[in-house]
Amino acid sequence: MIKHILTVLNLVIGLTAFSQSNHDDRLIKKYGQETLDQMAAKNPAEYSILTNALKRAIFIGDIPTEKGKDIQFDGELTIDPSKKHDFISLGIELKENEYQYFKITGANKLVGVLPKSLLK
């Protein structure tokens, strides 16, 4: 009987440790382990959007100078455009159906953010 209890206890501890390691550390830092576990179980589409967003939600490029390409900026970011960034490290909340554009301070560059609807 004690062997069965120990086996079940080891299994539970092992599964708990495994479940804690399936989320990206950046997501855990922002949302927390429990929230991510619940989201993955109850709202897998939203969870998938967040994991996709880490890889492809933002892009960095030159500010267009062509006539008719006026951009309404949502703010300004002081970052090094040559380094790797994601929406979490930049402190950006994703919007459902709207692109977002942020001017990079001291550079003729911008950060573009894709809407959630394109990250599904």
Residue 107 confidence (pLDDT): 94
Residue 51, judged by CB atoms within 10 A of its CB (0-12, 13-18, 19+), counts as: middle
Residue-averaged pLDDT of the chain: 88
Give the mean model confidence (pLDDT) for residues 36-41. 96
Decide: helix, strand or coil at residue 98.
coil
88: pLDDT strictly greater than 70: yes
Q: Where are the domains of the chain?
A: 1-42, 57-120
Q: Give the model confidence (pLDDT) of 1-19 as tens digits.
A: 666 565 555 555 555 545 4
Residue 5 confidence (pLDDT): 60
Residue 75 confidence (pLDDT): 97
86: pLDDT strictly greater than 80: yes
